[in-house]
Structure 1
Amino acid sequence: MSRPKGNPNHPKKGAAIKVYPVRNMEQIEAIKAKLKHQPRNYCLFVLGINTAFRAKELLSLSIKQVEALKVGSRLEVKQSKTNKYRAVTINNNSYNAIQFWLKRHPRQREPNAALFQSQQSRSAIGVSTLNNLVKGWCADIGMTENTGSHTLRKTWGYHQRMRGQASIPILMVAFGHTSETQTLEYLCIQADEVQALYLRLEL
């Protein structure tokens, strides 16, 4: 009896796999706690969920781009999709995470060195490596939903909306989306907000 070729769990060509944000603040803190003894990964996670940079943008950072940053500084990075520059403001958590890592970075005196250097080479880690790292971090704290590198970016947007009450039009601009529906679906919050309607107001 012949076995089917290929991975039966692999999505069909053209199919999209939804990647989810870390919705729960307790889960975010749990990941941070697990990464405290991994300065590079701790900085990668904290910066990822506080800037909403795409994976390629995050991994393109060099030491010279961040070493002089303070709380309130603007960090501009060229977007991988549009080739336009996008600026983010560094908050306390991002600043502290960057400093925590820079003090331990093996090439801290080399301005052009990759901020998130691979342990196997002198270059930056790749997107596939980041994807696997995020999956591992989330699985370690009990998340069962599908996660990946986009989880970091989506986590920022999810909490900006659900906890910070950011408007959908503002988030559309931040993510470069063309419709409110696209943003709601991307951040996996449409179902959550609809469900909340039934609990927020009783007639």
Structure 2
Amino acid sequence: MNDGTTITEARKKELGELAQRNIEGMAFPASDWEADTLAEVLALPRVVVTRPPVDALLAADMAPYHCHANCANQEANDPDGTSRHVTGWLVYGSDLILHSVVQIDGEWLCMTPQLVPVAKQFQFIPDPLIEWRVSRDGSGNEAFRGGIVLPEALRRHPQDHIRVRDRFRELMASGLSAFDARKVVEETLGDELKRSGMI
């Protein structure tokens, strides 16, 4: 039983898998397109988005870390028809994370429960150039901008994410769990990455 002071093994496994997905997903090669798009998006207006209580989101059948589906479902199933699914970029340190929220009667809300403690509000950049199309394999939808399939994020310091991924892989290859490898990366590279605004 978890009394709030310890983390169960199942929870460590879940958080480790989440860390691994995030680290791998953020370590794609840098490109001129990414740098140019980052600069373009940073010039767009920002809004403040509020996160409703996690329990309320879970009770409404919102799935953790499935923001695009959650917001599409909220818009499609809103009996009042006032919910609008908006895709854009969550401002996270020096990165912009591809994210979806809803706008309801002028209020900006994040419909996606998080597994770790997060701020109740965050800055978000709605991006009117993002469009959803059927994915190349036909299994769902993908976000495009200017005809390009969007990555999970736009990064100011891509090389830092690649370094984190490489160190994380080394630690896991040495026998550490994903949970413990993430902790070691934060402890050993944390101060340096904080200075660059990455974490």
Q: TM-score range by the shorter chain?
A: under 0.3
Q: Under a length normalisation based on structure 2, what TM-score does the superposition of the two structures give?
A: 0.27
Larger helix fraction of residues: 1
Q: Under a length normalisation based on structure 1, what TM-score does the superposition of the two structures give?
A: 0.27
Larger strand fraction of residues: 2
